Amino acid sequence: MAQQSELEADIAVVGAGLSGLAAARRLVAYGRSVVVLEARDRVGGRLLNEPIGGGAVVEVGGQWVGPTQDRVLAVIDELGLSTYATYDEGDKLFEMNGRIRRYRGEVPRLNPVVLADIAQAQFRLDRMSRTVPLERPWEARNAEQWDRETFASWMHRNVRTAGGRAFCTLVCEAVWAVHPADLSLLHFLFYNASGGGLDRLISTDAGAQKWRVTDGSQRIAERMAEDLGEQVVLSSPVRRIEQHSTGVAVTSDRHRVRAAHVVVALPPTLTNRIAYDPPLPGIRDQLCQRYAQGTVIKTMAVYPEPFWREDGLSGQVTSATGPVKVCFDNSVPGDGRGVLLGFLEGNQARTLGQLPLAERREQVLDCFTRMFGPRAAKPKTYIERSWAEEEWTRGCYGGFLPPGGWTGHGRAIREPVGRVHWAGTETATVWNGYMDGALTAGERAADEALAAR
Ligand SMILES: Cc1cc2nc3c(=O)[nH]c(=O)nc-3n(C[C@H](O)[C@H](O)[C@H](O)COP(=O)(O)OP(=O)(O)OC[C@H]3O[C@@H](n4cnc5c(N)ncnc54)[C@H](O)[C@@H]3O)c2cc1C
């Protein structure tokens, strides 16, 4: 390893995703000096714009913002950026048991018995979620019971129809990017409460998929980094954090930063890939051993025009068949071309992730063709990003806990370890896993570092 140059700051920040940048921005606003060390040669972490030519960009990472995500909406405004509505006109498609049905609104036209089953499951899940304290999910009245089982086991006892279970599985994969058998019921309920309930999480018009950021969501991170200037250091993966009685030394491949405190703004599993001296307490390390990232491959196909709109279709699909289970029209307004977005999530992403690109592309385009007809088979461009393969992310959309995670280890999620403070969207209480949560988590960790002596 080359000799590291020495830097000094009041507070060091690890990670230039939204959370680390929000922490740095807050610290600078309070007159503190910061150094943000980022492993990649770019800022934004799980936000990444992909140019598709002609000045248009699509996002291969996080992209949507929605109502009640007040912090991210305010920051977009403060940075002089703007949003536009997700394309949401025309019929949606729902595929189950080999049948594709058109529908309007949020709920597909299914057998009334299945619809009633889904409604009772949603009512119960939302009611249980409201009893989970966002700051301390492990203190929910039924925490022990809920953290002992998976969402799958709850579903198999409480959702009576095969259609209802297929729908719940779809929702779990679409929102958490994991199979229901991987997920603690308590984590499901916490995350659901954190985002304001299932309708908010899954809806386009009234929920988390309502708006997109003009010029791409990575612009939020880029604009924040522009304001921070040379205080953001790229291509500088942090390997080691040492603590002593008066400060910390944060060592990356290129720098050694001395500071009074450090904010670590990474997904929990990545925080465990840094060496700590003294070592972290067992409870913190074991929490991060459990806090896995979901699995998503985000795919897009670019066509000369959004031809599905001529057929009165919105481009939005939910399919119990898959492997692409969720689609959107991701065309860029004013660009003229049509972009179909398809998510491979959870087990589908894991399985297809093992295939050569050409085979995966073929399977994705087969899904688009089934939904939108033969014109979907031959896009001008095919784009995909597999986030599990990314060394500095290792999965998305966010992290999740399996049974026993919250009740056994959850109290370590935000608890500072001496001079080390934890940020990242996985530490958020509101909109955990989303850009909004990343921002508030960074600001909360900055406040902790400011208040600490
Ligand atoms: C495909 C996809 C779709 C998504 N969709 C949405 C959406 O529509 N809406 C929404 O709100 N959210 C969405 N999300 C989630 C959203 O992107 C994240 O919640 C948010 O960007 C997380 O920000 P963060 O700063 O907490 O973490 P990250 O963005 O992961 O930032 C962590 C940073 O730390 C860096 N790093 C890692 N290890 C080290 C190290 N050792 N040293 C130095 N630096 C390191 C990384 O390179 C990265 O820049 C999506 C995510 C993905 C991937």
Domain ranges of the chain: 5-45+217-292+413-451, 49-89+208-216+295-389, 107-200
Place of tokens 């031809």: 307
Determine if ligand 1 sits within 6 Å of the CB of residue 64: yes
Q: Which whole-number Å values give the CA distances from 89 to 210, 247, 325, 368, 420, in the listed order?
A: 12, 55, 20, 18, 48
pLDDT at 274: 98
Structure tokens at 221: 């991170």
Whole-number Å distance, alpha carbon 383 to ligand 1 midpoint, is: 19
| Residues annotated in a binding site | 19, 38-39, 238, 343, 426
Determine if ligand 1 sits within 6 Å of the CB of residue 17: yes
Determine if ligand 1 sits within 6 Å of the CB of residue 422: no
Structure tokens at 167: 């729908």
Within its chain, how far is the Cα of 307 from the centroid?
30
60, 266, 273, best to mutate for ligand 1 pocket (most atoms within 8 Å of CB): 266
Residue 109 pLDDT > 90, yes or no? no
Q: What is the distance between the terminal CA atoms of the chain, rounded to a whole angstrom?
A: 33
Determine if ligand 1 sits within 6 Å of the CB of residue 425: yes
Encode pLDDT of 6-22 as tens digits: 999 999 999 999 999 99
Which residue minimizes the CA distance to atom 34 of ligand 1? Answer: 15
Calpha distance 248→217 (Å, rounded): 33
Average pLDDT over residues 435-452: 98
Structure tokens at 293: 């990232």
Q: Where are the beta strands (DSSP E) in 354-449?
A: 381-386, 399-400, 420-422
Q: How confident is the model at residue 62 (pLDDT cuts 50, 70, 90)?
A: very high
Encode pLDDT of 329-385 as tens digits: 999 999 999 999 999 999 999 999 999 999 999 999 999 999 999 999 999 999 999
Determine if ligand 1 sits within 6 Å of the CB of residue 19: yes
Within its chain, how far is the Cα of 46 from the centroid?
7
Which residue minimizes the CA distance to atom 10 of ligand 1? Answer: 434
Name the DSSP letter for residue 285.
H
- Work out the mean pLDDT of the chain and round it to a whole number: 97
| Residues annotated in a binding site for FAD | 19, 38-39, 238, 426
Determine if ligand 1 sits within 6 Å of the CB of residue 213: no
Encode pLDDT of 133-178 as tens digits: 999 999 999 999 999 999 999 999 999 999 999 999 999 999 999 9
Determine if ligand 1 sits within 6 Å of the CB of residue 342: no
Q: Which amino acid is at 169?
A: T
Determine if ligand 1 sits within 6 Å of the CB of residue 46: yes
Q: Which residues on neighbouring strands pair with residue 255, listed in sequence order?
A: 5
Q: In this prediction, what percent of the chain has a pLDDT beyond 70?
A: 100
Note the CATH architecture for domain 107-200: Orthogonal Bundle (1.10)
ipTM of the complex as predicted: 1.00
Structure tokens at 116: 């009633």
18, 46, 328, 330, best to mutate for ligand 1 pocket (most atoms within 8 Å of CB): 46
| Residues annotated in a binding site for substrate | 343
Q: Does the domain spanning 49-89+208-216+295-389 belong to CATH 3.90.660.10?
A: yes
Whole-number Å distance, alpha carbon 217 to ligand 1 midpoint, is: 12
Q: Select from 3.30.1330.20, 3.55.50.30, 2.60.120.200, 3.50.50.60 the CATH code of 5-45+217-292+413-451.
A: 3.50.50.60
Whole-number Å distance, alpha carbon 312 to ligand 1 midpoint, is: 35
